[in-house]
Chains A and B, each alone.
Chain A
Amino acid sequence: MIAIVDYGMGNQHSVLNALRYLGVEAAVTADPDKVCRADRVILPGVGAFGAAMENLNRSGLRAAMNEAVLQRGRPFLGICLGMQLVAARGTEKGLFEGLGWIDGEVRLMAPTDPEIKLPHVGWNDIVIERNLPLFQGLKKERAFYFVHSYASCPQDPAHVAASCEYGGSFVAVVYRDNIFATQFHPEKSQKNGLTILENFAEWEGGPC
């Protein structure tokens, strides 16, 4: 069973809809026990970094995810804000401690061209930097749907699994061991996104 973590920040049901469509067993839950016992964990989310961490800390979901992902090695998928939260620090509307699973910071995007719009909204192509089982079967056009103003900046370049271009390069996917997290929304990226979700349902962690 895949636990989709519900911490009051967004579109858990869109992720559930996509997994159901794929025939993958999953449930949206706010119960730390269920998250702890899950085979896999998905942390979706939209909204602000600080408020999200506060919810995760207060609800006991942070501790539950730490146990499932770090101690029990369960495969983890972070999406959008859920990807940013795996970083050590967030800088959106103040300085906040993140889950700290991948060292680095989340910063406001700074496109080189001042005419470039923020938020970064729409379909953009990713460049795969690390060959992971999660990318298998993608179409030649690797367009995914993004909507965000902040981006993750991992300390160690080895944690960058894919990048993307928007007035400069930014990190589209981070990866470490059993942790995989995307800035884009696979649940909103049609066929390409469904491919990644389907791969995640089979993934046991680790590279190809």
Chain B
Amino acid sequence: MLKQRIIPSLLLKDGRMVKGKNFGNFRDVGDPVTAAKVYNAQKVDELMFLDICPTAQSREQVREIIQAAACECFMPLTVGGGVRMVEDVRHLLTIGADKVAMNSAAVRTPELIRDAAELFGDQCVVVSVDYRLNQAGRRTVWIDSATLDTGLDPLEHVKRCVALGAGEILLTSIDQEGTLEGYDFDYLDEVARAVKVPVIASGGAGRLEDFYRALTTTKVSAVSAASIFHFTDQSPIKARFFLSNSGVNVRV
């Protein structure tokens, strides 16, 4: 039976690993290659590298980070941040990424999803969707590192991306992100039930019980997390044992 996945995410800024809250107040949390090696030693299921502030210079730094990680980490690597064109996707796949995450481009140039899926297969196209609740109580998709409200409904956006060829959806609640207060469980479940492709929960995991709840009460296929591994004493190993002992089908 397919195992449920725990995916540490590494947010990158100027070649360093950072972590913030609600997509702001970023703190330096170390060297990403060192972190990748530690996660590799902990035998995590996958790793996700997201450049949150893409520039010409950071593109080169990301290249170095992925190349270094890919020489030692024999697990799936997803890379995202600043992906605009098919050539960006090709570039990231060539340097060692297995999947490429698109976020703002999925809104601005959705045909990129189709083009990349046709050329490289839909299994390597991850669409990353960041959303937040507005004052009217409606969720909308935000892009450009959560600085621009597109007004789009996240579920409609996700459905459109899947129809174009997205092979996986990374769904992040900006309101929950970095709070350690738990995922936006009900909404994750609503989206995961509505699409055929796997949905990865993101934003808010603070306790191992959050992983358990997401993996047992919602239809998500995987949980991603960062703060819980940086700012608490939990590790992917502890998470796996906790989940396994609770009857969740994870790798041990």
Q: For residue B119, which residues in chain A have a CB less than 8 angstroms away from its CB?
A: 47
Given A17-B71, A122-B5, the answer on whether A47 and B96 have CB atoms closer than 8 Å is no
Interface string of A142-164 (1 = CB under 8 A from B): 01010111000000000000000
Interface string of A50-89 (1 = CB under 8 A from B): 0000000000000000000000000000000100000000
Given A10-B120, A121-B168, A122-B221, the answer on whether A147 and B76 have CB atoms closer than 8 Å is yes
Taking CB atoms and an 8 Å cut-off, the chain B residues in 1-28 that contact chain A are 1-5
CB pair B75–A190 under 8 Å, yes or no, is: yes
B250's closest neighbor in chain A, by CB?
A: A123
Bound complex: CA A164 to CA B123 (Å): 19
CB pair B3–A14 under 8 Å, yes or no, is: no
CB pair A123–B197 under 8 Å, yes or no, is: no
Q: Is residue B107 contacting chain A, with contact meaning CB distance below 8 A?
A: no
Q: For residue A123, which residues in chain B have a CB less than 8 angstroms away from its CB?
A: 2-3, 5, 45, 251
CB pair A190–B98 under 8 Å, yes or no, is: no
B5's closest neighbor in chain A, by CB?
A: A122
Given A145-B76, A188-B76, the answer on whether A11 and B71 have CB atoms closer than 8 Å is no
Interface string of B115-140 (1 = CB under 8 A from A): 00011111110000000000000000
Bound complex: CA A118 to CA B222 (Å): 14
Interface string of A131-145 (1 = CB under 8 A from B): 000000000010101
CB pair B93–A21 under 8 Å, yes or no, is: no
* Minimum CB–CB distance for A154 against chain B, Å: 22
**Size class of A's contact patch?**
35 or more
CB pair B76–A194 under 8 Å, yes or no, is: no
CB pair B2–A122 under 8 Å, yes or no, is: yes
CB pair B123–A148 under 8 Å, yes or no, is: yes
Main secondary structure of the interface of B (DSSP, over half): loop
Q: Is residue B198 contacting chain A, with contact meaning CB distance below 8 A?
A: yes
CB pair A117–B120 under 8 Å, yes or no, is: no
Given A122-B2, A122-B3, A124-B2, the answer on whether A46 and B123 have CB atoms closer than 8 Å is yes
How many residues of B are counted as interface, with CB atoms below 8 angstroms from the partner's CB atoms?
A: 36
Report which of A115, A119, A149, A188 forms a contact with B74, defined as CB distance below 8 A.
A188
Given A121-B168, A122-B45, A124-B1, the answer on whether A47 and B120 have CB atoms closer than 8 Å is yes
Given A21-B72, A145-B75, the answer on whether A122 and B222 have CB atoms closer than 8 Å is yes
A146's closest neighbor in chain B, by CB?
A: B2
CB pair A193–B74 under 8 Å, yes or no, is: yes
| Residue with the highest number of chain A CB atoms closer than 10 Å, among B118, B121, B196, B221 | B121
Report which of A119, A190, A193 forms a contact with B122, defined as CB distance below 8 A.
A119
Bound complex: CA A99 to CA B118 (Å): 22
* Minimum CB–CB distance for A195 against chain B, Å: 11
- B interface list, Cβ under 8 A from A: 1-5, 40, 43, 45, 70-72, 74-76, 93-96, 98, 118-124, 167-168, 196-198, 219, 221-222, 251-252
Could you jot down 7 A-B contacts, CB within 8 Å?
A10-B93, A13-B70, A14-B96, A47-B120, A47-B121, A118-B197, A141-B252
Supplied contacts A14-B98, A119-B168, A124-B3, 9 more A-B pairs, CB within 8 Å: A11-B93, A13-B70, A14-B74, A21-B72, A121-B221, A122-B222, A124-B1, A148-B123, A188-B74
Q: Which 5 A-B pairs have the closest CB atoms?
A: A47-B121, A147-B123, A123-B3, A46-B121, A124-B2
